[in-house]
Amino acid sequence: MKFSSEIKVGLSIIVAVIAFVLGMRFFKDVPLFKGTYPVYTQIADAKGLIPGNPVRLNGVKVGSVGEVRYEQANNLVHVGFRVNNDITLPLGTTCTITGIDALTGVRVELQLGPADNEPIEPGGHVPVVENGQDLASSLLQRAPVIADRVDSVLVGLEGTIVEVHAMLREPNSDLRQSMSELRGGAAELGGLLRDERDTISRILANVDTVSSDLAQVTSLQGDSVAMAISRLNTAMASMEMTMSSLQSTTARLDQILLRVDEGSGTLGMLINDPSLYVRLDSVVTNLDLLVSDFRRDPRKYLREMKIVDIF
């Protein structure tokens, strides 16, 4: 069956169009046979984002960037990207631009909003969240400062190595003398260990024997040790009860002293009331005078007494 030239040309054009469309979708990193819908965002700094960069959700690619253009009217960058039809972006979804431009790893990261919200319509706006710079970008920006510090450290290290090398070549330097003394000390220690090898062996054997004897004694006297520990525990418990009783007694004594200090009771009044002391002192003085007078002249007091009253 032969085809006319017009049919061949038409088929060629159709194949070319299909190849062109598929090629454009391929180079734009758009799925060839899966449907997508567009959304966009606006950001002050695109951070090297270009068409074809991936759009990811929880680390999984769910779309690609379609266009990146600068809008002079509002001094912002318009970023349009497409998301697979099987991914629903609810209202409240945000995005961030992250990655390293030098490694062509810039991407759009999506953070989904609440699942019960209405979905964003195709062509809708997804707000961008400025989350600061990631670790890699921060390291790239600080790389010159870090390089300068590393360079200064290397210069200092090189100077130190030169000084050490010079000291090693100098016969009378402190470093060479210290190393010589260290070598001599190591040699003396090695000789001492060789000379006292038998003594060290005997000491280690004795230590092993003592350890074995101690283990045997412990196993044989295990009941006695357990009994001693039990008695010690009993004594500790008794001591703890005694301390508790002593604390209780001390607390009651504190209460008594507090009442005495406040003037409660006879003893408190005697201590805190000066007039009671003065009266008691006066009574004792009068009693002393009465006894003295009785000793001087007992008949004075016995004159009026009858013998019957006396005896």
In tens, the pLDDT along 151-180 reads: 788 878 877 887 777 776 777 777 677 777
Distance CA 298, CA 291 (A): 10
**Cβ neighbourhood burial of 81 (10 Å; 0-12, 13-18, 19+):** buried
Band of pLDDT at residue 127, cut at 50, 70 and 90: very high
- Give me the pLDDT at residue 299, please: 74
Q: In 170-196, where does DSSP find H-type helix?
A: 174-195
N- to C-terminal Cα distance for the chain?
Answer: 175
CA distance to 77, 79, 103, per residue, from 54 (Å): 17, 12, 14
pLDDT top residue among 121 and 261: 121
Contact 63, 84 (CB under 8 A): yes
Show me where the domains of the chain are located: 1-33, 36-135, 149-199
Across 70-80, b (16+ Cβ under 10 Å) vs e yields: eeeeeebbebe
pLDDT top residue among 85 and 276: 85
Over residues 197-241, the pLDDT tens digits come to 888 888 888 888 888 777 776 666 666 767 778 888 888 888 888
Q: List beta partners, residue 98.
A: 107
